[in-house]
Structure 1
Amino acid sequence: MTRARKQVTRSFSACWTCRRRRVKCNGIGPPCNPCKKHKIQCEGYGIELVWVDPKTGTYPPYCRRSMDFEQTWRGRPILNEGQLQRLIDAMDDIDPAFSQRKSSSSPFTVFRIARSNKRPVSDSPTTDISSLSHRSVESLSPFSPSNRFSSPFTESDNSLSPSLTPTITGFLSMPKDEAMMFYHYVTWIAPLMIPVDSTENPWKSVYPSTALQDTSPASRALYHAILAQSAFNIFNLQKGNPESHRERESVALKHYGASLRELSKSLNVTKETEYDACAATLYTLMISEGNARGSVAWRNHFDGVGGFVTHFVQQKPWTRSTHSWVISQSLALSFEISQTVNVKPYGRSSITDILLDSVASRHNFGYTIGASCDVLKIISSIRLFAEKIALGDIPDDLGILIQSCLVELSPLNNSNFDMDLDIPDRDSVLESLPETQQHKFLDCLHLRLFRTATLIYLHQAILKVPPRGVRKYVKSVLEDAMTFIRMRGGSISMWPIFIAATEATEEEDQLMVEQWLTISSQLGMQNRLIARKLLHQIWHERSEEAAANGLDPDQVIKDWKAVQRRLGFDLLLL
């Protein structure tokens, strides 16, 4: 005789802790009475939403919560039937050939949504496009946690809005194809522009809102530049579809040309009020050339930036507005990082003299590429001294400079790390940490891999040490990068991994590089594919030279910039 199953009345008002423990909760708190009685942390009653698998209809347990209508839409603009249908039609028309995430896309992504931060973990050395697509939904979409890090803006200026809600009116007024590309920019490209996608991501807020703020030539130039960058990215993602591929290239070039035309109107009579839009346009066009197209013409835009910035030496708009500062520091960062790849000595420029010294005064300088101010200044110093040495001008105090850089970059001399980054079995331990601690750990981890890569750059550019001398640094950068990728899904700065990869000689290290290349080469960014070709050529030439001279590959010094020059590349490491 079978025993009758006890009937259980399920409640949806229990705290998360009681639900996981399968105990009755009094629904009052936090903390609730059961959690208080057992002296355990009460996780509260916050909303946690997840995507339902479109094929099976399943979703992770203990994650989905109901939300009443009033709470869901409180403070949001009310859209009429026509506006709603327009958004839905735009999403229905998205080509699945480039949008692997269509099943989880929503026309309401412009609204800020908080969700769980559980990341899929893969130990496989390779990643196919289907798994990448799944990871991208988790880590590269606008549904990433809105409070990943505390705000880097400590000033009272609250103009950097984390929400795109103010731009909805402009979004609805766009032609359908342009609205689709703008949506692709905000939901796919913007999270790839910054290693830590948070509410302070300027490519989700500052750039779109600046492009849609008015109809001036400067704003229109940025608007078309954004559409061009988006279309080039779609163009790269659609290479398996020749007909659509050619169409997207044509669309991208059309908006690229329109941006240049509008920009030329603005640059002739640029006002201080148009500084943000013009500077953001120049930066976006540079990214479109070097990142999306893989063209060497991206440096031409930097030449234009130098002349443009000099017009504002007296006004210094980057000191008056958070938006201006965010855009200006991106220009300064991009210049310093990109010059480490330049095969020609360049020296200091107007961008460095005017921008870097000014915008770097804020403590959060460098957050958009996941590096600290002191490290970026050291990178700039190393580059400048390497250029002098290449010209035969060896400074008398070179030894002192090298020693000071080594001390500054030492892990023992870094106040930014207030967490133990080398805990045993750190991946599994991280999964058990509270979400805020995971975020803090990843922040410190990215800072450290950038610092370690700068050590490699110092040994590479000035000390001319063979790979054997930096083996431990290479392994450290790559292992930190793999942990970061497993936790975040692959949105990581290109410069530190590339610098480490050029000195990777051990099979285990090269396998980690290949894992990163496999993921990053499927993001629709052409400079990742160029990086793969360049790295493979460096490894090949080093192995051949080692075999010809009876050496191990880690004893062979290889000037990767010389290899780049022979291949006709000019890699944008952003």
Structure 2
Amino acid sequence: MARARKQVTRSFSACWTCRRRRVKCNGVGPPCTPCRKHKVECEGYGIELVWVDPKTGTYPPFCRRSMDFEHTWRGQPVLNEKRLQRLIDEVDDIDAASLEPSPSFSPFTAFSACPSDIRAEADDPTTDKSSSSMSSGAMESRPSTPPPARSSCSPLSEDFNFVARSLTPTIIDRLSASRDETMIFHHYVTWVAPLMIPVDGAQNPWKSVYPSTALRDSSAASRALYHAILAQSAFNMANLHKDNRASSRRKESVALRHYGASLRELSQSLNIAREEEYDACAATLYTLMISEGNARGSVAWRNHFDGVGGFVTHFVRQKPWNRSAQSWVISQSLALSFEISQTGNTKAHGRSPITDILLDGVASRENFGYTIGASCDVLRTISSIRLLAERLALGDVPDDLGILIQTYLAELSPRNHSSIDVDLDIPDRDLFLESLSEMKLLGFLDSLHLRLFRTAALIYLHQAVLRVPPRGVRNLVRSVLTDAMTFMQRRGGSISLWPVFIAATEATEKEDQAIVEQWLAISSQIGMRNRLIAGEIIHHIWLERTQEAIARGLSSDLIIKDWKAVQQRLGVDLLLL
């Protein structure tokens, strides 16, 4: 008589190490009890997703964790019945041959784009716009890792679609040659790119201009940008998988490999420095800078700005940023990043080729600053305040100091706040926003972000020039943090770092600090390490201010703390983007 086979109850809550060792895990930790007992590394319980072979339906063992329905689709747009049925009908009509790469398929995501379907739906008055909103919602509703990849249609700009259609099959094949690279590139467009701009939409250059420039041709400059994009995306994935150290290290290793490849290609391209490769080189320098400061949290990101100055100077006569809309949007990203990041520089920097040449060259357009969510006049004022603060720090006091300060106060006055058809200070804001259509909501949020940037610039003026203690800017701090929380509840964690950080460093009220903690909790889940560094600096400022207030017998809101000095003591250099 055959011995009855022992029944084994399998669990999906075990850590990765115990699953590979095929031992029982108590689900505590990491580290769990069995891993701690046997002195092995506990790889934790983080979610790991891999690509399934489309032909066999198989995937490597122990590489895919189950995720319940609620967490898988949380924060994703809900499709109404009409659109869902249309997508099902289209899938039924697709044969295997039509799934081969072709110029009509968007090369910027792992799946096909259906702009015609989106436009048809947008023009259909019977479509329920609220149920198919592309708004990401509050960051609390997003999973800590991106949801599993799935076929979907995304609204794309006309320029984006034109570039996608014009790419040759050879270039698309280059992207499709590696499944891992395709996945990383897809993560960049669908997760990283929307976080790079406060209000995501058709004008988001990180979903169109940067990918299309990277895939434009096989030149060294385009290859450099391609690898830089993959590096930024892989670093972000490593940060999202930080709870699983083994997975995080693998992603970081991939990122470093592409980072090195980008530097090699960029070095080759800069030796030639042709005008037609300006876009790709400038975009690569920006992306590498973001990868260092935003994704890795490294202090080396300023080295790339040193290279940008010389690079911009080389093109003074040609002024390629005036050549096309793509050149302009890449150039304005460099100019914006430089001016904002220099506010955190502990050393006097003064004017540079980026300020003298690039900023003046690209700031004339009306929509300058849209990628960071600030207006042109506010950004110019922030730059002027920084230069004035550096002069004062060196003992150079201008004769017209009072007039300059009055000019800044007038430029940043609330009467200059951009507005729309509705009042930004409406009493029941949450209830009001629920009643707005998607288009009006985006307009409201655009104006809200412009205002919080302007208000933060006022705080910066009081910090850097007037040396006013937190008590003097209490109302301004409350305004920025309240606007920021409203924005994040509607659009997630893509809010610009600079205005919220500037306000947070002056927060002394318990209520204001609670809002800052909410912001930090949300921002820590999007895979951007500079948000974690920002939190570290803010908490040290609060601690030092409290300790000094106790020692001097004063209220904490009378203690002035220079956040740049605190940053220097911590040995970090925060990229404020």
TM-score (norm 1): 0.78
Q: How large is the RMSD of aligned CA atoms in angstroms? A: 3.3
1:80 maps to 98
Q: Could you list the per-position Cα deviations for residues 251-294 of structure 1 after superposition, in whole angstroms to 9, with x for gaps in the alignment?
A: 11111111011011100111111000000000000000000110
| Alpha-carbon distance in 2 for matches of 1:135, 1:165 | 31
Equivalent residue in structure 2 for 1:335, among 320, 326, 338:
338
- Post-superposition CA distance 1:510-561 (Å, at most 9, x none): 1111111111111111111111111100000001001111111111000110
Q: How does 1:236-385 map to 2 (within 5 A)?
A: 236-385=239-388
Aligned to 1:216: 219
The 5 Å alignment of 1:386-465 reads 386-465=389-468
Quote the residue 1:505 is aligned against.
508
Residue 204 of structure 2 corresponds to residue 188 of structure 1: no
Q: Give the Cα–Cα distance (whole angstroms) in 2 for the partners of residues 221 and 402 of structure 1.
A: 44
Q: Report the Cα offset of residue 71 of structure 1.
A: 9.8
Q: Which amino acid aligns with 1:509?
A: D
Give the Å deviation of 1:80. Answer: 3.1
Contact 2:113–2:154 under 8 Å retained in 1: no
Mapped partners of 2:273, 2:90: distance in 1: 43
Amino acid at match of 2:573: D
CA distance in 2, matches of 1:120, 1:111: 20
- Taking a change above 3 Å as real, the CA distance of residues 54 and 268 of structure 1, as seen in their structure-2 partners, is closer
Deviation at 1:424, TM superposition (A): 1.2
Q: Post-superposition shift, 1:309?
A: 0.8
Equivalence map 1:126-137=2 (5 Å):
131-133=141-143
**Amino acid in structure 2 at the alignment position of 1:408:** E
- Of 114, 124, 133, the match for 1:117: 133
CA contact 1:232–1:249 (8 Å) conserved in 2:
yes
Q: Give the aligned residue type for 1:329.
A: Q
Structure-2 change in CA distance of 1:56 and 1:467 (3 Å): closer
In structure 2, relative to structure 1, the CA distance for the partners of 1:244 and 1:339 (3 Å cut) is same
CA distances 1:354-406 after superposition (whole Å, capped 9, x unpaired): 10011000000000000000000000000000000000001111111111111
- The offset of 1:60, in angstroms, is 9.6
Amino acid at match of 1:438: L
Q: CA deviation at 1:477?
A: 0.3
* 1:560 and 2:563 correspond: yes
> Residues of 2 paired with 1:163 and 1:146: CA distance?
15
CA deviation after TM superposition for structure 1 residue 61, in Å: 9.1
Residues in 2 aligned to 1:250 and 1:62: alpha-carbon distance in whole angstroms: 38
Q: Partners in 2 of 1:120 and 1:428 — Cα distance? A: 18
- Alignment size in residue pairs: 485
> What's the CA shift for 1:184?
0.7
Residue identity in the other structure for 2:133? N
Look up the match of 2:81. Answer: 64
Q: CA deviation at 1:411?
A: 1.1
Q: Hey, what's the Cα distance between the residues in 2 that align with 1:441 and 1:407?
A: 24
Give yes or no for contact 2:110–2:182 (8 Å, CA) kept in 1. no
2:237 corresponds to which of 202, 227, 234: 234
Closer, same or farther in 2 for the Cα pair 1:512/1:143, shift >3 Å? farther
The one-character-per-residue Cα deviations of 1:329-373 (angstroms, maximum 9, x if unpaired) are: 000000000000000000000011110011000000000000000
Q: Deviations over 1:151-198 (max 9, x none)?
A: 9xxxxxx75658856569444433111111111111110001100100
Q: CA deviation at 1:419?
A: 3.1
Q: What amino acid sits opposite 2:98 in the alignment?
A: N
Q: Residue 499 of structure 1: CA displacement?
A: 0.3
Aligned mates of 1:210, 1:541 — CA distance in 2:
46
Deviations 1:117-148 (A, max 9, x none): 386877xxxx76xx3329987xxx9989849x
Secondary structure of 1:419's aligned partner:
coil
Contact 2:474 2:507 (C-alpha < 8 Å) held by counterparts: yes
Name the SS of the counterpart of 1:393 in structure 2.
coil
Amino acid aligned to 1:117: S
Aligned mate of 1:523, from 502, 518, 526: 526
1:17-28 alignment runs, 5 A limit: none
- Distance in 2 (CA, whole Å) between partners of 1:561 and 1:347 is 16
Q: Is the 8 A contact 1:166 1:209 kept in 2?
A: no
Code of the aligned partner of 2:571: G
Specify the SS of the correspondent of 1:407.
Answer: helix
Per-residue CA distance 1:182-218 (angstroms, 9 max, x = gap): 1111111000110010011000000000001110000
Does structure 2 conserve the Cα–Cα contact (< 8 Å) formed by 1:160 and 1:322?
no
TM-aligned CA distance change 1:415 to 1:572, over 3 Å: closer
Taking only the aligned residue pairs, the percentage that are identical comes to: 64
Do the aligned partners of 1:160 and 1:323 also contact (CA within 8 Å) in 2? no
Q: Which amino acid aligns with 1:63?
A: N
- C-alpha separation between the residues in 2 aligned to 1:144 and 1:426? 32
- Distance of 1:214 and 1:121 partners within structure 2: 37
TM-score by length of 2: 0.78
Shift of the 475–266 alpha-carbon distance from structure 1 to 2, 3 Å rule, reads same
User: Is the alpha carbon distance of 1:55 and 1:265 closer, same or farther for their aligned partners in structure 2, counting shifts above 3 Å?
Assistant: closer
Distance 1:205 1:168, change over 3 A: farther
Provide the rounded CA distance (Å) in 2 between the counterparts of 1:174 and 1:377.
Answer: 45
Distance 1:522 1:168, change over 3 A: farther
The verdict on how the C-alpha distance between 1:164 and 1:510 changes in structure 2, with shifts beyond 3 A counting, is farther
Matched residue of 2:374: which SS?
Answer: coil
